[in-house]
Structure 1
Amino acid sequence: MVEFFPGFTEHHADIGGGRFFRLRRAGSGPALLMLHGMPQTHAMWHRLAPAFAENFTVICPDITGYGFSYKPPATQDHAPYAKRAMARDMADLMDHLGIDRFALVGHDRGARVSHRLALDHPERVERLALLDIIPTIEHFERTDMRFAMGYYHWFFLAQPAPFPEELINLDAGRWLLAQSARHNTENTIFAEAAFADYLAAVADPATVTAMCEDYRAAAGIDLDHDRVSRAQGRKIACPALVLWGDRGLVGTLYDPLAIWRFYCTNTLDGQPISSGHYLAEEAPEATLAALRPFLSGR
């Protein structure tokens, strides 16, 4: 069996205020923060992070609410799971680690946190790579039958508590298989160790609540924040790269580069990867080949 995250240390960082984050770290050189998607944990980066650690100080945390990081209590307005709050958590984590500026790679929900982090903390982010998303507000404003059917979980998880939580918790493992099978029909994409980590995380009802709160925030307070940012003309100021799977819904429903151009003021590049939604696990070599020159400034 190939070693999982070779050379990385795993620990929990307590950043104060009851906030702690599980993370893996390795390497030296410029800092690179990598944020995972749903229903995953930082384990999704196990095929890319060791390669980046040859040239970067790589930090892979479980984002707020996910995996084995802290899970703030749910509130009526879902503000603790707004991407603004989750991005601030990541900025505070990097402060705790003594890192001022960093490159940032995010996939799926982690990419939405990354987008907000680049807007709210532009002085922190040197380069930004976003994997298989368009802005949240664009998804909702462009919703049609194809999006609603393909991304039905956006609307299911955002239903009022505790309805979706109760259904998922009846058999969280079965739900995880069904959720990932939307893109991963035979469950052949995920490495055994990574999928075991995802299963262990969703076995905790608090993780399930946190995921639902993430989507409730996306359908409410996140849209409020996005509308204000758009009206103010706040855009990504650093060089940006967008990647998407050519067999995924983002690549088949939209022209990601055309959409993201409106949200960037600096250089923007992008390309499809021969993959479905899970680029880093499904097509690690192609994803690495696209990310490496961008993150190195070439």
Structure 2
Amino acid sequence: MEQVRGHPEILPGFRWYDIPLEDCSIRTAIGGYGPPLLLLHGHPQTHLTWHKVAPVLAKKFTVIAPDLRGYGDSSKPDGGPGHINYSKRTMALDQIQVMKALGFGHFSIVGHDRGARVAHRMALDHPDAVDSLALLDIAPTATMYARTDMEFARRYFWWFFLIQPYPLPERLIAGDPDFFLDQHIERQIKNSDAVDPLVLQEYRRCFANPATRHAICEDYRAAASIDLIHDAIDKDKRIQVPLLILWGAKGTVGALYDVLETWADKASDVRGHAIDCGHSPQEEAPDQLLNALKSFL
């Protein structure tokens, strides 16, 4: 495990490591002391999306904030047959191995967007490792695909664009990566000026890498294929640990779904509520998110 230079100007008090796994390495920020808390980011962000809440959480927890495989400064392995290397099962195993490398056999998780989908799979595949689970602004993947209608397709067009066969989305995005990234974020952020310019600069730096953009497409291709197979096989499994669902009152998930209803048959103990924001509570409404997590964790 190699310590590397990170972003102390964005995440003060944290340390950064590249943690080697079997087929990739995972860039990971670590800070604080106390029970372990794993923070998993979404698309198109990196672990820096947590910069408004991680230092506060680090006062009571050992906070571990990795870049998912394919994202940020983590490795970008080949997608493999059937996009298996970006299945949520594979991405979940990454995080189990990261936490084991750090000496943590069980821990709590807060996941946003893609990271929340990885966290959902972790709770199913590795129930003994997960103490509690908070998922931000998602409904279950299989539910969202099954209930697709015109409004969902219009709002979440990238769910259908990024899954197109290689190299169509990769080549089209390559024409103006900053524009695509900025438009994606602007569509989802409802509280103006929520994204720190330094953090946005890091998002752009990582998204400028063609390997990152390809990995992101592989992540979404897996979600529309092998992940649905895994979900169908496990349709009767339930999350056994306490589950907190938080969503943006101004976002698509809250507008199109009864969010708690979508999770009612996925978990044994589920609760949650809306937060006054769009898709990214950790950037748009950090104080509200922290209050919710404080009472839950």
TM (norm. structure 1) is 0.95
Alpha-carbon distance, 1:74 to partner: 2.1
Counterpart AA for 2:283: E
Match of 1:242 in 2: 245
Matches within 5 A, 1:1-298: 3-15=9-21, 17-184=22-189, 188-230=193-235, 233-265=236-268, 267-295=269-297
Deviations 1:200-236 (Å, cap 9, x if unpaired)? Answer: 1111100000000001001100000000100xx2110
Change (3 A) 1:18 1:259: closer
Q: Deviations over 1:181-202 (max 9, x none)?
A: 2123796221112111111111
Instruction: Answer yes or no: is the 8 Å Cα contact 1:180–1:187 preserved in 2.
Output: no
Q: Distance in 2 between matches of 1:238 and 1:18?
A: 30
Aligned-partner SS, 2:122: helix
- Aligned residue for 2:3? none
Matched residues in 1 for 2:32 and 2:102: separation? 14
* Secondary structure at the counterpart of residue 188 of structure 2: coil
Q: Gaps (5+ residues) in structure 1?
A: none
Instruction: Write the distance in 1 (CA, Å) between the matches of 2:90 and 2:206.
Output: 21
Residue identity opposite 1:276 in structure 2: G
| Distance in 1 separating the partners of 2:35 and 2:191 | 38
- Say which SS state the counterpart of residue 182 (structure 1) adopts: helix
| Per-residue Cα deviation, 1:111-135 (whole angstroms, up to 9, x for no partner) | 0000000000000000000000010
Distance 2:191 2:110 in 1: 27
Q: Secondary structure at the match of 2:82?
A: coil
Cα RMSD over matched residues?
Answer: 1.3
CA distance in 2, matches of 1:6, 1:186: 24
Secondary structure in structure 1 of the residue aligned to 2:27: strand
Stretches of structure 2 lacking an aligned partner (at least 5 in a row):
1-7
Q: How many residues align?
A: 290
One-letter identity of the residue aligned with 2:271: D
Q: Which amino acid aligns with 2:139?
A: I
Equivalent residues of 1:177, 1:187 under 8 A apart: no
Asked whether the equivalents of residues 189 and 284 of structure 2 are also in contact (C-alpha less than 8 Å), the reply is no
8 Å contact kept, 2:88–2:117: yes
- Which is further off, 208-217 or 184-193? 184-193
